[in-house]
Amino acid sequence: MEGLHLAKYPFLKDAAEHVKDQGVTLDDLLEHQAFRQARARGKARVIDALEDGIVRLRPMGTAEEQLEEILSYPMARMFVSSVGDKFLTRRYALAEGVAMCERLERERSDIVEEVAYQLGVPVTTDVDESDELTVRMHFSDYLRFTSRMRSKEWKLVNTEVKDGHVTLNQVKFARVMQQALQDRIEAELPLPVTDSIVRALGDDLRELKDRTAIKRDQFKAEDFGKVSVENFPPCMKHLIGMAQAGENIPHSGRFALTAFLHHVGLSSDEILALYATSPDFDQSKTKYQVDHITGETSGTEYTPPECSTMKSYGICYEPDSLCNHPKEYVKHPLSYYRIKNLPPRKAGPSPSPSSISPSPAGPQ
């Protein structure tokens, strides 16, 4: 594989072999003045991941620039490992996956097949008379890499299976490969780092730690103007954080969060904007789902599931003292929110369940 493609896909085994052939050592990468730009590019990869959720391509017209791009990948992994923050690891894995996905969507068939092979995804490719690429993969591999992808279109029952194989167009296969790379990076990081590596990273590492802390706090659940996120139940705070961090949310979680936000006063456009950072964001599909749940197209304003249903769906996250309070009537996320918004209670009897219970939920 030529140098430009190794620079576009620096996570490949061939890229590591290329670095070895160039005689670049770890000490060289960390300390030598000749690799100052590679170190800066590695830091930039991590900042891209934090700020934009995708690693941007840089100019790579020369062999030196291509080598810098290849070396920036192990450099970025050292930065992420040294920060040692799970949020950053996930954010970085997502950004590298999204970048690769965008490139594979327009790549030659032989490169697509080689990238898949080196990521451990066995496939066969075919190009038809109109130069459209199709990819065939065994259904077991398809299931392995789509299990975390929540949209219904990825369910095996909604996919044609012939002779044990699934056929995908180039764009859909690139998305499968994105998940394969995300999973691999998340499994590999953090790498063990020595004190000498941490010292070599110096001020750049401290800056990345600070940036990560700031970004992580933003994704804990930002306020929505007139609506106080501080009074949201833990499950909704967690789901909002997932959405803002660009993580895939289970279908049941999206339903619950959309219905909840609608009932506490957010508009459909505000809810739609929340999902815009999702790896699988499709504006038209998401708008259809939001409009259906909020009643704009269905005629039924759905409410989120009650707490017992949230638990059965596996989307009840970190219940707090109010969730488990023996004297309160918190059986529903909206009940939690209404109790939190009540003025301080004077001494006297507890409110009746009817005064804080949400309206009956529509069909789930």
Domains of the chain, each with CATH number or no CATH: 3-188 (1.20.930), 229-356 (no CATH)
State residue 364's pLDDT score.
Answer: 40
pLDDT exceeds 80 at position 268: yes
**Residue for token pair 């000498």:** 196
The pLDDT confidence band at residue 173, using thresholds 50, 70 and 90, is: very high
The residues near 302 (Cβ < 8 Å, ≥ 6 apart) are 255, 259, 293, 294, 295, 361, 362, 363, 364
Q: For 269-294, give one letter per residue: b (16+ CB within 10 A) or e.
A: eebbebbebbbbeeeeebbebbbbbb
CA–CA separation, 43 vs 50, rounded Å?
11
Q: What is the pTM for the complete model shown?
A: 0.71
Please tell me the least confidently modeled range out of 289-293, 294-298, 304-308. 294-298
**Per-residue pLDDT reduced to its tens digit, 300-316:** 889 999 999 999 999 99
Q: For the chain, give percent helix, strand, coil, nearest 5.
A: 60, 5, 35
226 three-state secondary structure? coil
Amino acid identity, position 281? F
Distances from the Cα of 266 to the Cαs of 104, 223, 252, 344, in angstroms?
A: 37, 11, 19, 25
Residues 17-42 have pLDDT tens digits of: 999 999 999 999 999 999 999 999 99
Q: What percent of the chain has pLDDT over 70?
A: 90
Query: 105-114, 208-217, 240-249, 252-261 — which is least confidently predicted?
Result: 240-249
